[in-house]
Amino acid sequence: EGGLPKAETLKRIKELKGCSIDWLLTGEGEPFPEQSAQAARDTLGNPVNADDFVYVPRYAIEAAAGHGSLVTNETPMFTMAFRKDWINSIISQEVSGLSVISVKGDSMEGVLNDGDTILVQKMNYIRRDGLYVLRINDNLLVKRLQLMPGNVVNVISANDAYPSFEIRLDSESDD
């Protein structure tokens, strides 16, 4: 009593639980070496290498596709995995400025719908016409932006019920 288990007992534990006999005997090493060596798997069951992914924080924040949504909590809920090669093909700068948020409202209906999840790259400039999330004071809006002559940006909704408006980039009153 109180001694080492018999070899047959150790073998049976290994067969049932998949743990290492060395670990059972000495407590050293990995208890489940085969599991730690296994790669993660995709939804089709194919092995994937975790190093092939960028992990982007997912925030409980909504960018309003309509009227502004107050930003109250900027702590990530969890992270979402995106393939590095895909991210590098669409992102022009560091991935540290990426986040994932939700769309709220119907002003961009047909382009971005209520509840859609979007990947956002933080930047302080408008590179070209396209879809952007704007922070105006403490509100986030998702809109189509169109660069115009005279340092003006047209802010356009996909839904005609929401009027377009202009932001003058050289105006100190606009945030």
- pLDDT tens sequence across 119-157: 998 888 888 899 999 888 778 889 999 999 988 999 999
| CATH numbers and ranges of domains, the chain | 1-36 (no CATH), 50-168 (2.10.109.10)
Mean pLDDT of 155-165: 93
The pLDDT confidence band at residue 107, using thresholds 50, 70 and 90, is very high
The backbone torsions φ and ψ at residue 56, rounded to the nearest 5 degrees and listed phi first, read -105, 130
What is residue 117's predicted lDDT score, i.e. its pLDDT?
A: 93
Q: Using CA atoms in the order 9, 15, 20, 24, what is the torsion angle rounded to 10 degrees?
A: -20
Q: Which two tokens stand for residue 28?
A: 């050293």
In this prediction, residue 37 has a pLDDT band, given cuts at 50, 70 and 90, of: very low
Write down the pLDDT at residue 11: 81
Instruction: Specify the pTM.
Output: 0.68
